[in-house]
Amino acid sequence: MDVRVKDIIKDNSIWLPSQDYNEKKKLSILMPTFGRGKNGFFKRAVTSYIEQTFKDTELIIIDDANTDGTAEQIDEFMKQDKRISCVRHKKNMGLPSISTYEALKKARGEYIGFLFDDCVLYPSAYERTLERMEEDGAQASYGRVLVHTDKEDMSKSVEIYCKETFLDNLEIMNSIGNIAIIFKKDILETVGYLDPHVCLSRVNDWDFITRIKRKFHLIETGVLFASEYGVTQSNSLGNSYLINLLAIDEYLKVPDRERRILLSEYEEINIFSEEENSSYNFSSEMKKSLDFFKNKYWLSKFKIIQEKVNTFDDNIVIYEAGSISASTRLIFNRNSNDNYQKLFSYMYMDRNLARSRAIILARETNIQSPLLKKLEYAGIPVYFLWDDDFLLLTKEKILNSSLTEKDFKKIAKKLNGLIFTSKNFYENYKEKGYNSNNYLLNPIYLDGLEKEISIIENKQLNIAFTGGLWRIKKFIKMLIDILNNIGEEKKVSLYLLKDKELENVLNKTKINFSVEWYDFTLSYDQLINKLINKNIHILIHPAEEINNNINKTKNALITASLLGAALITTDGAPYNMKDSEDDPMPYLLASNEEKYWVEAINKMLDNSVRIEMVKKARDYCKKRYSARCLDKLIEDVLKDTPKVDINLYSERLEKLAYFSGKIQRSGTFNQIIVDGVGEDIIATKKIDKNLKTFFIADKNKFSTISIIFGTHQRSPQGTCKVKVFDEKNTKIHDEIISLEEITDNKFFGINLQDVENAMGKKFYIFFEFNYINTQNKVSIYERNYKYSNNKLIRNLIRPFRKNEIYVSLS
């Protein structure tokens, strides 16, 4: 079936410009609407636009051939407000992405946003958003949305947004409301617009914001932007068109897809396009889409889709223990132009696992991991990827882990292969022979993100640090002396991760340089996007000597090269050794003494010397950190693992479901899967008001405390004040969380500043609950100390047992 955008929009629209259309506006708002005139939703939405405190805007409404009085309401609004225009359809199109594309062509704003007829804007949404974007120099932003979830009780709602720290989780799922997205129009020349393919009808906003995240500086404004009522409406797209996640994942990997959705190519898009080797599942989804849209004017006849062999597209799932970070994103990243990137998926629900050629488990150290056992039971091929020698770190007690060489050796034999990220690491483990299939992958240099090499002008020197906070905290006093020295001749700006401890040190110290703080993020894409326009001249990468350094990769060199900066790093592994025969080592090494760092920085003040070094670094990175490192691994995966047909898929899916059910039946959690399964934990009684508890740190360093709440399958409302104290009873964290954010029996992360030297120390947590509905109280999971094998006795002495909370530190 070949149905193109240009055929759909041809001769179906009437353009009704606003009274002041000749006046250019700062912000253009695009609003598709259908069927919301009679119930009052449309009127409420437009009224909330008119009442915005920021007025330098235009609203372009797309009337999708409404017959319920909406057209008349639009005409009236256009008379009342001279900023409102309309694209009026002769026949109902039913494709909001293409409708808004028509409006986009008429938009004149520097910024673009959306308004939907099931939403109501908060009065200062636009004003506060644009202020934040201009403050931060961001090309795109999103706010928070209050989603109303119950048609019978509109007071029930949940606040939806994504913390900037976890933006890479957009690779898995969307938690950003499309109503709250504002972006600069000119970024569309790079990322394209909403993909109109029918496969993405429900999720093209997710795909769009994820593409923006990969290429541009995207911020979470903190602005409560709008209330959304679509979930309560039976005729909303979300309630009428079902999602097929596997088909979506397959389509997102189509080669050259992102070029096709650029504005210059947009009208040539075939919204039913299908690859020659598309899977049975995808072909089936296309048939369903044809049936769903069969009465549309633009689909005048069907073309029968031929039955395909019942096989899924080649798919490899990447699962990183903990949050997605540079450990995997520097290797498996769609910003890379390499065709192999289309094979990789971060979605790890059972249906995606079952259809995969293999699973790559990154940074997994728990040999008893339920996921590992589950994959083994289902017979799904598994590869381990390590970018640190966790056996060495455990042996030297830098990492608090129960991992032993004996246990690792046992599990390694069962794996399809081991993947390492540095030459020394790879050769060392290959020699040990834990597994016969060993692979060397390196970070991939994403040269598409490169900025122009930074030039020092007007004596302004910009220095940045992008590594872990533990590095800079050990180095901060010396760094202050170094920059004070350099600051005598230059205006120095230091770009540094926001951290209260560092702020306190710098506030108490006399400095003759400025500090520009930027927010912490685990997203490598966003790290680069945050700093890409800051004209960074030098990237510093201090380190202390530990044995694992020899196994590390030269990620800082890649980051510096992308930013157009020169790298200065501590004279130690891995930077004091070549990682290939032709490694020119295009950076400066400095011993951790002030005079050597001052000398190194002074060398880089000469623009010509620094530019030459950055050019040399970029040439080397493009050659050494090429996507070709994936060739051998992918070749072997596709050779050594079975292509998944419908029968193998069904068999695996059945085993995965059986394994999950087995855990449920054998668990002690009332037939409910609880995070932390395998640990001996038990829920407290429902907490009335306060709970004071403690935990013993099992990691030397952490910045997230994950706690399991039990909501007893109810929906608690209210807040919980959380305070964390160290062993000296000094408060190290204080925040208020919304009870609507917690999920029954699932980890909830509390993010705080880095805590170091924590191993074996006691920390106290104080919870203060304020319920709106006191019938829906919550519990918290604690460690279950068995003072007796007799259950009756254990229950009798329960009030007197230890009150140690169960936490996972990361």
In the chain the domains, ranked by start, together with CATH numbers, are 5-293 (3.90.550.10), 316-444+640-657 (no CATH), 453-607 (3.40.50.2000), 693-797 (no CATH)
Give the pLDDT mean for 42-59: 97
Give the pLDDT mean for 597-609: 97
Cβ–Cβ contacts within 10 Å for residue 670, how many? 12
Give dist(CA 549, CA 564) in Å, integer.
Answer: 25
User: At 601, is the pLDDT very low, low, confident or very high (cuts 50, 70, 90)?
Assistant: very high
User: At 186, is the pLDDT very low, low, confident or very high (cuts 50, 70, 90)?
Assistant: very high
Tell me which of 218 and 781 has the higher pLDDT: 218
Q: What is the pLDDT of residue 659?
A: 79
Residue 461, pLDDT above cutoff 70:
yes
Q: Strand 681-683 to strand 779-783: parallel, antiparallel, or no bridges (unpaired)?
A: antiparallel
If phi > 0 it is left, if psi is from -120 to 50 it is alpha, else beta; for residue 397 that is: left
- Report the chain's C-alpha Rg in angstroms: 28
Cβ(502)–Cβ(494) below 8 Å: no
Q: What is the pLDDT of residue 553?
A: 94
What's the whole-number average pLDDT of the chain? 88
The strand ranges marked E within 27-117 are 27-33, 57-63, 84-89, 111-114
Q: What is the pLDDT of residue 460?
A: 97
User: At 661, is the pLDDT very low, low, confident or very high (cuts 50, 70, 90)?
Assistant: low
The residue type found at 347 is M
Residues composing the chain:
810
- Exposed / middle / buried, residue 45 (Cβ in 10 Å: 0-12, 13-18, 19+): buried
Cβ–Cβ contacts within 10 Å for residue 549, how many? 17
Give the pLDDT mean for 592-601: 96
Give dist(CA 207, CA 200) in Å, integer.
Answer: 8
On the question of a cis peptide bond just before residue 96, with omega within 30 degrees of 0, the verdict is: no
% of the chain exceeding 90 in pLDDT: 62
Residue 619, pLDDT above cutoff 90:
yes
Q: What is the pLDDT of residue 670?
A: 33
Residue 197, pLDDT above cutoff 50:
yes
User: At 799, is the pLDDT very low, low, confident or very high (cuts 50, 70, 90)?
Assistant: very low
pTM, 2 dp? 0.72
Q: What is the pLDDT of residue 784?
A: 63
Sign of the Cα torsion 445, 449, 455, 461 reads negative
Q: What is the DSSP letter of 704?
A: E
